Structure 1
Amino acid sequence: MNEQERRFTRGLVEVRAAAGARTIGGYAAKFNTLSRNLGGFVERIDPGFFAKSEGDGWPRAMARYNHDDNMLLGTSRSGTLRLVTDGTGLDYAVDVPDARADVYELVQRGDVAESSFAFRTLADDWSMTEDGFPVRTLLAGQLVDVAPVNDPAYLDTSTGLRSLAERAGADLEEVRAAAAAEELSRFLAAPKTTVTIDLAPTPRAVGEAVADAVKSMTDLMTRDNGGQGEPHPLTSIRQRRAELYRRRTL
């Protein structure tokens, strides 16, 4: 599940004050915010999603205009891209090079006002919203890039559907068809468990029950025999029969 994915962020990219540099920035990702419908499911980003990348010093993270390799704006390695997580999400600031002054101008004018980020998922989870709609939670991942973008469209979500198919032990095409029909919830419903309880008594249980019944009868018939402490004559016969039955059932 290490294929690259991209998501749009509901947040503005803006010009930021920085001495001697053309700096733009914004939130590339926001935590615990449900996305729009991605095609039968929604997503949220766990606050710990970028913990590994951040702990590793944001290795090879880049800022690219429209995620284009030919439109590199800055890198974490050179320090021209700075990334930090807070209670809201992943914030970025990038010093735009002179060769990309047009990107800075587009952001400054408001022509480019939104951000996106590319990532690889290392761990995710599936559940349901309170309204019963499937939700994928991104738990851990690797940041690839952040990007001011012209068109904040969500790109291919097949990696998410593949994750659900693996979790449910289902065929990917079946999951895709269910997503198109907005029926992914059936892959998240709790499995029905059938519990069979055998109420038929075992021979041992029957033998023990008979023995208990005869003992109670013996006590009763001893009392009926004038309280002499000797069992009634019929009791001895019934005791022997019960004992033979009990031995056969053990």
Structure 2
Amino acid sequence: MSKIEKRGGTLGVETRAADEKRTLVGYAAVFDSPTDISGWWTERIAPGAFAAAIGGDVRALVDHDMGRVIGRTKSGTLRLAEDSKGLAVEIDIPNTTDGNDLWELVERGDLSGMSFGFSVTKQSWDETVDPPLRTIEAVDLFEVSAVAWPAYDDTEIGKRALAEWRSANPATPAPEEITDPAAAPVTKANLTRARLKMDLELKVRSTR
């Protein structure tokens, strides 16, 4: 379970009621939508990333809490599909405390996001750009969640994935070194290097 990452966004979730059945609908992921992951890399999800995963036994949860199940693909109360936009989700909400509370919160607009928990099975990295671009091409999907706060955590897993990619692809060219400070992109790493260089120059001057 340590390899599970969580992603999501304020992509919208809405309620639909018909024939005494209450259903939440929305998107847990959108294809080809670049997302900044804590400044470490940019991430996009390629169309088809969920194709093999949506046939598995996936749960619908509240806020990624494994103890708060509100639907399941195996029972037919959670339905997942890939379309041209992304991972479409339909959850038949149960008549439980969590289900009733969730329905009320979505109707009021207090809860408006969806997210998903996954493990990457196929990915590629482009290090010719800064920050690197990670393209997720295939995943194992464990759960989808209705969330109050979209999750963009577990950066350590992604950082390990980048390190593994570099180890397996030693010939991958690193971004070209920029010697002209005016031409350098403004990034955390460049700002840190600039400050260190400035501190060093000041120390050298003070010792002369």
User: TM exceeds 0.5?
Assistant: yes
Which shows bigger deviation, 83-92 or 32-41?
Answer: 32-41
The alpha-carbon deviation at position 37 of structure 1 amounts to: 3.7
1:84 aligns with 2:90: no
The alpha-carbon deviation at position 111 of structure 1 amounts to: 0.5
Aligned twin of 2:50: 50
Aligned twin of 1:146: 144
Distance (Å, rounded) in 2 between the aligned partners of 1:154 and 1:2: 15
Letter in 1 for 2:94: P
The alpha-carbon deviation at position 169 of structure 1 amounts to: 2.2
Aligned twin of 1:169: 167
The alpha-carbon deviation at position 182 of structure 1 amounts to: 4.2
1:9 and 1:28 in contact (8 A); partners too: yes
| Secondary structure, counterpart of 2:111 in structure 1 | coil
| Secondary structure, counterpart of 1:11 in structure 2 | coil
**What count of residue pairs does the alignment treat as equivalent?**
170
Distance (Å, rounded) in 2 between the aligned partners of 1:182 and 1:29: 29
Aligned twin of 1:121: 120
Aligned twin of 2:40: 40
Identity among equivalent positions (%) equals 41
Distance (Å, rounded) in 2 between the aligned partners of 1:181 and 1:165: 19
1:95 aligns with 2:92: yes
The alpha-carbon deviation at position 6 of structure 1 amounts to: 0.2
Distance (Å, rounded) in 1 between the aligned partners of 2:69 and 2:115: 14
Aligned twin of 2:22: 22
Aligned twin of 1:160: 158
| Secondary structure, counterpart of 1:163 in structure 2 | helix
Distance (Å, rounded) in 2 between the aligned partners of 1:2 and 1:18: 39
| Secondary structure, counterpart of 2:36 in structure 1 | coil
| Secondary structure, counterpart of 1:7 in structure 2 | strand
The alpha-carbon deviation at position 128 of structure 1 amounts to: 4.6
Letter in 2 for 1:71: R
Distance (Å, rounded) in 2 between the aligned partners of 1:2 and 1:52: 21
Q: Give the number of the structure whose alpha-carbon radius of gyration is greater.
A: 1
The alpha-carbon deviation at position 151 of structure 1 amounts to: 1.4
The superposition leaves residues 160-203 of structure 1 with CA deviations (integer Å, 9 ceiling, x where unpaired) of: 11111012129xxxxxxxxx9447xxxxxxxxxxxxxxxxxxxx
Higher RCO, Cα 8 Å, sep 6+: 2
Distance 1:182 1:149, change over 3 A: farther
1:80 and 1:94 in contact (8 A); partners too: yes
Letter in 2 for 1:123: K
**Larger helix proportion of the pair:** 1
- CA RMSD across the alignment: 2.2
Which shows bigger deviation, 6-15 or 76-85?
Answer: 6-15
Distance (Å, rounded) in 1 between the aligned partners of 2:2 and 2:49: 14
